[in-house]
Structure 1
Amino acid sequence: MEHYKQVGVWIDHSKAHLIGFKSGQVRLLETVESPFESIKRIEGEGRDMSRFSPNPVHVSNNEYKKHHIVQNEINEYMRMMEQKLANFEDILLFGPGTMKERMKNRLREKKAFEGKWLSVERSDKLTENQLLAFVREFYKKEGV
């Protein structure tokens, strides 16, 4: 397999598409699925209310527990992405939502990513051909 130094990563909370760029050519390298589930239903779980009030304003500890489960899943996803991106020199993060910014901030904190070029762009959901075109146009515009 060819070795790519430049990569575009379309990322959101559910998955990431890694698109390699080399000599004006782009290729979808890999799709990484996130362990994050947006809606949790734990077997046997009751309603999110306190036992003393049917009022949904008074929530139980389920919310606290669910929040920590979600945070652990997102951290695991980011660890997986760090390992995938470690071999690239130029990294373009793009996509909807906030995940691209969270990923950039995490990579900036890691010593392994010091000196690497990171860029963040906003985009919506794209088809595979649109993903490839987005990365190709970005790197051509940057003159890399």
Structure 2
Amino acid sequence: MKAIGIWMDHSSANLIDLNNENKNRSIQSDFSFREREEVLKKGEKHMHNKEKHMHQVYYKEIANAIWNYNHILLFGPTDAKAELHHYLLKDSHFKNIQIDIASSDKMTDNQKEAFVKEHFMR
């Protein structure tokens, strides 16, 4: 079984592959607080459209990094994990992949690895 855990919020995703430590990496969203403030000056509707577009780019980058796994754990403190889950369900590459979702608080890197290890040991 090729499994990966992803701790994420709307600003970054930490990909945790316990079978290959060299594959652990982070993906950053380009929609930062500063960018949000700049876009908001153009209007709230423009800001929501930009934010939606930037999140889609962020989710696509994550999807491209994990399409070859057959079991995925999405966890983190925000609803970004559910948004990514919906995004993945629309992609035919993920139709035969098991995707689990769990809530968690902010964690250290060691806590994230332990959380992923415990989840996949069940």
- TM more than 0.5: yes
Stretches of structure 1 that go unaligned for 5 or more consecutive residues are 47-60
CA distance in 1, matches of 2:120, 2:103: 15
The equivalent of 1:7 in structure 2 is 4
CA distance in 2, matches of 1:126, 1:13: 15
The equivalent of 1:81 in structure 2 is 62
Percent identity over the alignment? 28
Q: CA RMSD in A?
A: 2.1
Stretches of structure 2 that go unaligned for 5 or more consecutive residues are none
- Counting matched residue pairs gives 120
DSSP-derived class of the 1:42 partner: helix
CA distance in 1, matches of 2:96, 2:80: 22
The equivalent of 1:92 in structure 2 is 73
CA distance in 2, matches of 1:82, 1:110: 9
Aligned-residue offset at 1:113: 0.5
Aligned-residue offset at 1:21: 2.7
Moved over 6 A (4+): none
Q: Residue by residue, what CA displacement relative to the aligned partner does 1:56-88 show, whole Å, maximum 9, x if unpaired?
A: xxxxx6111111111111111011111011111
CA distance in 2, matches of 1:88, 1:72: 25
